Amino acid sequence: MKIDLVSEHASPLAAIGGVDAGGQNVHVAALAAGLARRGHEVTVHTRRDDDALPERVVLQDGYDVVHVPAGPPKELPKDDLLRHMPEFATNLRRTWSEHPPHLVHAHFWMSGLASVAAAGGIPVLQTFHALGSVKRRHQGDADTSPPNRIDLERSLCRSVRHVVATCSDEVFELRRLGLTTDRVSIVPCGVDTSAFTPRGPVAPRGDRTRLLVLGRLVERKGQDDAVRALRAVPDAELVVVGGPPADRIDADPEVRRLRAIAAEAGVADRLVFAGSVARDDVPGWIRSSDVVLAVPWYEPFGITPLEAMACGRPVVATAVGGLQDSVVDGVTGDLVPPRDPERLGQVLAALLADDARRAAYGAEGVQRARARYRWSRVVADTESVYRQVLARRPLVEAAR
């Protein structure tokens, strides 16, 4: 098959850990590479955010990345990109009129809007990665999404051929937006179980017990709850991996906010910011930890717990979104309520005091990651959805 992926703000070439660079970038890159390995012709279309970027990049992983002009060629917050989607769609339409793929798989809602506008009769599948209704519920007035995002996502549920959701919690939200159950399939995100393994290089560490938080430095990720929970584990340090490079970490407003919270809680000497790290170095940081934390207020899926489990590390995660699917409470880790640092601290203290339970969680996590979430299985399941959609003519065509 000729398969085009569209990911308007999350390029598979981007550095991970920035404000708008995270799990979606990893997902799109791994899916594209996996599909290419299965013999498909794969192109990823993403917005040009640097004038120096070539129009097309051919990757050793077997797929191409095309940089699509849409707005000024510079980095922009993703919430500012909606006004540039008509230009994005125009350029996609020009490309697809000359070289149409068998199907388009859009990632994120704005990619879906542009893809539907450009596709004509080409089937469009949609993965949202995050839903505006969930974001609005949790962030309220702090939500910077375009005000019509929820309505536009509701319209996408009517106009795309099929939705590929990443967890069961997302399906419930999609049904509230009007999507019927016969037009949605669940395929989780995945983890590279050849890179994320229990054995391998380990990042330097001292004598303290190490808790690790990995990901973007944005308030909803709950790093402040992890900082406050340090009061319950006086011998532990909290290492935060992500955000800007280490040489620019002191200027980051979220870092300053978290340091102020740490000072107020009396744990400033046990909070360490590593900054952004190379993707290849992430497994070593995970292996250096005793427990990995994933404690967001809400989370569409969450790749960090999978990476931790694949490395044989126990996980403490909030019982939200896709984390409720990936982390088996009492088996591969512990689930806690979101935004409850006191309960988080209690759970951490109990887990750190129980070496046998941590070892058992780690061993079970490795088995679960390899059995259910390895990328080869995720890609095969995604391909199966593609084939089912292509085999099923839409009702309009069938009625002709």
- Which single residue is written with the structure tokens 């190379």? 278
Q: For position 301, what pLDDT does the model report?
A: 81
Instruction: For residue 86, tell me if it sits in a domain.
Output: yes
Instruction: Say if residue 92 is in the same domain as residue 54.
Output: yes
What is the C-alpha separation between 197 and 266, in angstroms, rounded? 35
Instruction: Say if residue 127 is in the same domain as residue 154.
Output: yes
State the chain's mean pLDDT as an integer. 93
Looking up residue 140, the CATH number of its domain turns out to be 3.40.50.2000
Instruction: For residue 197, tell me if it sits in a domain.
Output: no
Q: For position 394, what pLDDT does the model report?
A: 61
What is the C-alpha separation between 261 and 110, in angstroms, rounded? 35
At residue 21, does pLDDT exceed 70?
A: no
Total length of the chain: 400
How far, CA to CA in Å, does 64 sit from each of 2, 58, 69, 398?
A: 12, 5, 16, 34
Q: For position 64, what pLDDT does the model report?
A: 97
pTM of the model: 0.86
Query: What is the share, in percent, of the chain residues with pLDDT greater than 90?
Result: 83
Residues 214-223 pLDDT 10s: 988 988 899 9
| Band of residue 144 on the pLDDT scale cut at 50, 70, 90 | confident
At residue 52, does pLDDT exceed 60?
A: yes
Instruction: Say if residue 224 is in the same domain as residue 298.
Output: yes
Amino acid present at 78 = K
CA angle at 270 for the pair 267 and 276, rounded to the nearest 5°:
120
Residues 251-269 pLDDT 10s: 999 999 999 999 999 999 9
Q: For position 399, what pLDDT does the model report?
A: 39
Amino acid present at 151 = D
At residue 29, does pLDDT exceed 80?
A: yes
Residues 72-98 pLDDT 10s: 999 999 889 999 999 999 999 999 999
What residues make up the domain containing 382? 2-190+375-398
